[in-house]
Amino acid sequence: MWSPWKTLGGASVGAVVLVGAHGAALAAELPAHDALRILIISDEVNPHGLSDAELTQPGDLSAAISSPGSGIAVETLDEVDSACVDDALTALEGGQVDVVVYFAHLSATACGGTPRQDQLTAAFDEHLRDGGGVVVFHHGIYEDAGKEAILQLLGGRASSIAWDTTAGQDVIAVGGSHFVASNGMQYGGMRSFSGAGVPAGDYPFFNNTPDERYDATTLLTAAGEERTVLFVSADAAGGSPRVLGYDLRRPGWAGHVVFYQPGEYQPLILDVGGPDFQVIANAILYAATTQDEPTDPTDPTAADTGSAEGTGGASDSPAQSEGDATSAGGSVGDDTGTGLGPGAEGSSGKDGCGCRSTGVGGAPGLLLLLAGLVRRRGRATTRG
């Protein structure tokens, strides 16, 4: 049963939240923000034979985002199939996108069938360097022939599925006051957790039943990256701990990648008043509006500020970046695929404004958040 005490921006506030019949809030909650330009790249796989009403399919995420209860202000919302990415490449090349939601299990092709995965990977990398955001949703992290490079870019891969209609999986929030894990979230209780590089302790969680688990999830790391693990899980029967969500920034990027694994069962995931959709809405706003000064990967004096085994130091909110010392980093593997890797707490390595806005920094950025306005990143210019 959901608690009526909501966690907003990492602080508990004693306000009773209006809830629906199943105990969930009636709509997602976000601070006021500039309208966003959102691009979704999606496709459908249905290994469990779910009905249309049960399966999260192409078009469903667009419908949820554009619904009145999503909390997301939209300027443009375009969804393309992974088998027809021509328009997506054009939009990315023209700097017409604030955030990409990557919900593609299959390798990308042009509308005529020609492979386009290499071009899409390069476009994502340039988008992130320019300060754009990417939200990797559900089977976007799943491996497929041809996706190796983009999964390395996005920081992880999954290679095993399990459909659990009895216990589902607990979504355990280990990201502390990070915006994605805290803003507007309702958690059903606390549970003990250790592993995946997360210090042993009690963490808030909610349960998804049914849910599709990705039991073999590997974090693909790069030198100098900053990664904050946001959500983890482990089976009650003693299954290996695994990462369900993270915030990632790499050297040379001004933007961020946010990953969230749950996604198969539409009635849970796309309920705009439920915790899963609140995470998705938080991730979209965070990735669309959080911009940092990119580090120079060729600079020998640049510090290695974090990794999959550290706290990464990512922004706590769309308008303020102060690495959360309590946020736990973790690893369910490494780029060798050797399994559960060791973890250690790390430090932020940066501070100051993380807002993707024009001419706003430090304290003014925080004041904008307190005033309820989050600005998206400045419009990119067409590349020459």
Domain parsing of the chain, residue ranges: 6-370
CA distance 194 to 240: 10
Q: Tell whether domain 6-370 is in CATH 3.90.1310.10.
A: no
| Phi, then psi, of 290 in degrees rounded to 5 | -105, 115
10 Å Cβ neighbour count for 243? Answer: 31
CA dihedral 357, 359, 364, 368 (to 10 degrees): -30
Half-sphere CA count of 92, side-chain side, radius 13 A: 28
Confidence at residue 133, expressed as pLDDT on a 0 to 100 scale: 98
Low-confidence ranges of the chain (pLDDT < 70): 1-25, 236-239, 297-372, 378-384
Confidence at residue 236, expressed as pLDDT on a 0 to 100 scale: 61
Confidence at residue 249, expressed as pLDDT on a 0 to 100 scale: 98
CA distance 316 to 321: 6
Q: Which amino acid is at 331?
A: S
The contacts of residue 304 (CB under 8 Å, 6+ apart) are 223, 224
| Residue written as token pair 């998804």 | 208
pTM above 0.85, yes or no: no
Instruction: Provide the β-strand partners of residue 131.
Output: none
Confidence at residue 109, expressed as pLDDT on a 0 to 100 scale: 98
- Measured at the CA of 102, the angle between CA 166 and CA 72, to 5 degrees, comes to 85
Phi/psi class of residue 82: alpha, beta or left (left: φ > 0; alpha: ψ in -120 to 50)? alpha
Contact 219, 244 (CB under 8 A): no
